[in-house]
């Protein structure tokens, strides 16, 4: 069994087809999925999916690219995270690629997310793009290692991965690792310790080969796992076992809900 550790099933590309998507998850032996929040306005949709499907879980947070909307204070996120099917805080982090001018705002919000995670004891889901140094600095300054979490859709260097691992974080690979030109990322996938490895789709985006360019969905996480297994020269069954165990060890509230604790 596999777990899609990061997807956005509430997005309009996927939500109207959710029953079919859930059926294809089962057909591909993808047993669980974490539906990740990107803003507080749409959080009720994320939460509703986790309430509707007993193999889906929710997070609460605001993506660093999200401008405007409700400001994600630690108090507000702690309150929303009190729901039993909310298992993580995020997605949060820093993204200087699209909105470098929002750096100070992103940093302030990132700090609030880390503080909410520490107060709830729920791990962080971190997005970083062209901001690795500041991301790691804030993780250290705010003691993110106390709760740990995952660097999702990882695309950085091995040095960044190692620094995150040293801070009690996991490294999650998306469909990007299947792309032919992702040479540096493939090397990172070979080197990440087995007990810090996760796989995801980030659907509806970044569909893996052989579905590249199409709308992504959780069932496609099998292709990500297959590539990681190939790179690490192990059986797919080993990647299934390890990444599923890692998911439920990290997201212990999901483990309790699913009976995997």
Q: How is the chain split into domains, by residue range?
A: 2-258
Lay out the sheet containing 56-60: strands in order across: 2-7, 30-35, 56-60, 86-95, 124-129, 149-151, 169-173, 197-199
Q: What is the pLDDT along the chain (261 residues), one digit of tens a residue?
A: 999 999 999 999 999 999 999 999 999 999 999 999 999 999 999 999 999 999 999 999 999 999 888 999 999 999 999 999 999 999 999 999 988 888 999 999 999 999 999 999 999 999 999 999 999 999 999 999 999 999 999 999 999 999 999 999 999 999 999 999 999 999 999 999 999 999 999 999 999 999 999 999 999 999 999 999 999 999 999 999 999 999 999 999 999 999 987
Question: What pLDDT sits at residue 102?
Answer: 86
Amino acid 192: pLDDT: 98
Q: Is 254 exposed, middle or buried (0-12, 13-18, 19+ CB in 10 A)?
A: buried
d(CA 114, CA 135): 11
Is-contact 62 38, C-beta < 8 A? Answer: yes
Q: Where are any strands of DSSP class E within the chain? A: 2-7, 30-35, 56-60, 86-95, 124-129, 149-151, 169-173, 197-199
Cβ burial, residue 10 (10 Å; 0-12/13-18/19+) = buried
Q: Is the pTM of this model over 0.85?
A: yes
Q: Which CATH number does 2-258 carry?
A: 3.20.20.140
């Amino acid at each position: 069994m596999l777990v899609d550790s990061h997807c956005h099933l509430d997005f309009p590309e996927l939500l109207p087809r959710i029953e079919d998507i859930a059926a294809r998850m089962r057909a591909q032996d993808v047993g669980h999925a974490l539906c990740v929040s990107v803003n507080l306005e749409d959080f009720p949709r994320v939460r509703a999916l986790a309430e509707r499907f007993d193999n889906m879980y929710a997070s609460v947070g605001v993506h660093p690219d999200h401008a405007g909307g409700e400001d994600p204070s630690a108090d507000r996120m702690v309150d929303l995270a009190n729901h039993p099917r909310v298992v993580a805080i995020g997605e949060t982090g820093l993204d200087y690629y699209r909105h470098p001018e929002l750096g100070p705002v992103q940093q302030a919000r990132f700090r609030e997310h880390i503080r909410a995670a520490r107060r709830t004891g729920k791990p962080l889901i971190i997005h970083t793009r062209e901001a690795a140094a500041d991301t790691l600095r804030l993780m250290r300054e705010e003691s993110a290692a106390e709760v740990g979490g995952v660097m999702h859709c990882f695309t950085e260097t091995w040095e960044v991965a190692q620094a995150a691992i040293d801070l009690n974080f996991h490294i999650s690979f998306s469909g990007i690792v299947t792309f032919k030109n992702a040479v540096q990322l493939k090397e990172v996938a070979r080197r990440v310790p087995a007990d810090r490895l996760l796989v995801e789709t980030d659907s509806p985006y970044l569909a893996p080969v052989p579905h590249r360019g199409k709308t992504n969905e959780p069932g496609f996480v099998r292709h990500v796992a297959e590539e990681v297994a190939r790179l690490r020269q192990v059986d797919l069954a080993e990647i299934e076992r390890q990444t599923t165990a890692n998911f439920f060890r990290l997201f212990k509230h999901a483990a309790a809900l699913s009976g995997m604790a």
